[in-house]
Every structure is written in C-alpha cells, then in structure tokens.
A and B are shown apart, each in its own frame.
Chain A
Amino acid sequence: MVTSLISRVSLDVIKPAAFILICILLATNFSEKAIYGFMGSVFLLNCLFVIWLLKRLKALELILEEKEKSLNEALFYRDEFLTIASHELKTPLTSLKLQCQIFKRAVSKNEKDAYDIGRIDRLVHQTDSQVSRMVKLIDDMLDLSRIRTGMLSITRERFDLGELVKSVVHEMRPEIPIEQSYEECPVMVDKARIEQVLKVLLNNAVKYGRGLPVTIQVVQQDGVAVAMLKDKGMGIAKQLHEKIFERFERAVPASEVSGLGLGLYIAKKIITAHAGKISLESEIDKGSTFTLVLPLVER
C-alpha cells in the first residue's frame, strides 16, 4: 500500500517537474543560472515531499498498529470462546455418553434390571435434560452470531410483563423462595425473547444467590414498565457493573461456574432491540438487583 502510494506520488511530481524544466530551458535559452535555480527549487520541493511522506507513513503505521491490536484481540476472544464452548458442550456429552453406554452394557450382558422401568425413566429424564442443556448452549452461540450480523429478529405482540415474569417463574420452578409482586404492565414485546432474558436473570439470581430468597417486582413507574429481580447473593464489584453485559464476561472466573458468559450480553441486546434498558445495582456481599425497563403501551 505504502510503495504504491510513493510510486504514484513520485510520478505525479516527476512528470510536471520534467515538463517545467524543458519549458525553462527553452525560454532561457539554456541559461546556467535558470538551471541551478530550478534544481534548487526541485531539491526544496523534494525535501518537503519527503517530510510529508514520512508523516503520512507514521500515520499509516499507527492505523496498522491499531488494526493489528484489534485483530489480535478478536482472535484471542475467538480462541477463548472456542475453549469455553467445547468445554461446556463436552460436559453434558459426558453424561449422555456414559448413560447410553451403561444401558448398552446392561442390555448386552442381559442384566436382570436392564429394562427396569425406574432405570429407564431416569435415563430418559437425564438424557432429555442434557439435550436441553446442549440446545441452550447452541442457541446462545447462534444468537451471538445473529447479533454480530444484525440479524436478531424481534416479533412484537402485546403482553402483560407481570404475566410473562409469573409464567417464567412458574416454568423454571427455582429451588429457592421467590417473593413476588406484580402490577399490570402492558408492553409490546417478543414473548420468547423477553422470556429468554427473564430466564437468564432468574437463573443468575439462583446460581449466585447463595440459596437465599429472591424478590421479583413488576411495576409501572414514570410511564414505563419496570421489572426488578433482587437477590441476596455474593454481589458484583462496581467496576464490573458495565463489563458483565459484554461478551464472555462474568462476575467470577470461568472455572467457578458453567456457561458461555453470553447470557447478559444477549439479554442486553434483546432489551435494547425493544427500546428498553437493563441495568444493575450491586455491592459485594450485598446482593444484586437487575432492573429491566420497557416502554408501556396504551391500554
């Protein structure tokens, strides 16, 4: 790129210079003074040109350095993501594979309880749960790709945010007490996507909530619908409040919890696509409150 620039600029300079030199030589009848004068000017111009070129090269070098840095960063994130993703997919695969092989072995050895109904029931339930876990991981990876390419589609319909939250709590049946209060909040949202966000938040509240009760409130406030999920868990340090909504970020090291570290990133993108906001208030050891704000629609 730089070489082609130099040769292009050099040609642009040499051509008119040669033309001017011939004109001067003809006009001054080949006077020595005129020739020296012209050579001096050409030398000066060349010096200026070299200075300009060096400045331009420096600027290009900085741009290249910046590009190289962001490329290396992207490669680092890609490698990191592939490591985490393969680890996360291999964990449910371990259970699935062993379950299948244990069953196969029992059948081939003609064990008397190979077809025991309780054993088969447990096998089917565990298989179903492992497959769901893998589907969720793959969905998150696909969402990441959709977000990157701007293909995250939102199909809005009118729903009551309180009812949506209630149905998610009912479906997830968390093993911790949930204190709930709901106000009617009509919103225009993509039901599946908002449920996805609520599941991420509730799941996090359970995962990091140290088994303590979680409070969920859905209210109308200043003309918007607000859903708040408050846990009494380990809390998140202030410097991480913005960061945890970024890709592959989490409040604790990857070895401490399972998952791809994409949940809150995808949640934020979904809420932003609904013209809403998601925020966090938290302090270490004082729990976390995630707040969703969505525009209300007229009754």
Chain B
Amino acid sequence: MKGSIFIIDDDDDVREVLAFALESEGFNVLAFENGKKALDALKETSTEQYPGFIIVDYLMPEMDGVTFIQEVKKVFPETIGKIPIALSSAKGNSEENPVNLPPEILYLSKPMELDDLLQLVHENCLR
C-alpha cells in the first residue's frame, strides 16, 4: 500500500471520482466535504497516520481551501504544515492560478487531466 491522501471537496461526485482514481493507483484515500471537517480529522490523527499528500478544493462551505491551508500552516507549522498540498479550483483557466499562493502550494486546475493528477501525486506524496 502506498501513502495516504486527504481529498477535500464539497462536490460528492468530484470527491468520489478523485478517490477512485487514486485508490486505483494503490493510495489510501480519506475524503472530506469541507476544510473544517478535514482540519478536525487532522487534529485527531496521530503523527504516524498523517497523510502524505492533501488535495483541497478552493471554494467550499464552512471553510474554503485557502483558509484550510492557512490554518494548517498556523496550527501545525512543523508537521502537517510540511505536507505537500495541492489547491484545486474551477475558478481560473488552466494556465492561471486564481489566488496568490505561497510557492510551495501546488495548483490543480479543474477539469484536470488524469495523467497530470497522478503525476503530481506520485511526485509529491511523502509516504
């Protein structure tokens, strides 16, 4: 089994298909419908169980992707804050990043290519 990945997206279908794509590649996937639920889950997770990669949607109810990233960097600067995170968004076009993200944050423009998604995860997933 490869590393585990957190998928955070408010759209049920997107969540399901992303999870299916990554599980088919042997990753262990945990999916959440907003940033707050994912953050709560992270607080309950032991260090050994931390995900190796996080894909978070930009626009979501309760807590959006950018706020989630800021919270993670603030609350867990030395642990989860170091995990590679990709912000996915349907807001910009494929070449344009809609928000000014710190350089370490990766960007996935929706609708994404499966090959790009898998390459990004394979190259960056820590465990």
Chain A residues packing against B (C-beta within 8 Å): 83, 86-87, 90-99, 101-102, 105-106, 126, 129-130, 252, 254-258
Contact = CB atoms under 8 A, between A and B. Distances in A.
Contact of B112 (A98, A102, A130, A252): A98
A257 B60 CA distance: 8
Interface in B1-47: 10-11, 13-14, 16-18, 20-21, 24
B112 A86 contact: no
B91 A87 contact: yes
Interface residues of B, number: 23
A98 B18 contact: yes
B82 interface: no
Contacts of B14: 91, 94-95
Nearest to A86: B90
A90 B90 contact: yes
Chain A contact surface mostly: helix
B27 to A, nearest CB: 14
A287 to B, nearest CB: 19
A106 to B, nearest CB: 8
A11 B20 CA distance: 80
B18 to A, nearest CB: 7
A200 B118 CA distance: 38
B17 A102 contact: yes
B26 to A, nearest CB: 13
B71 interface: no
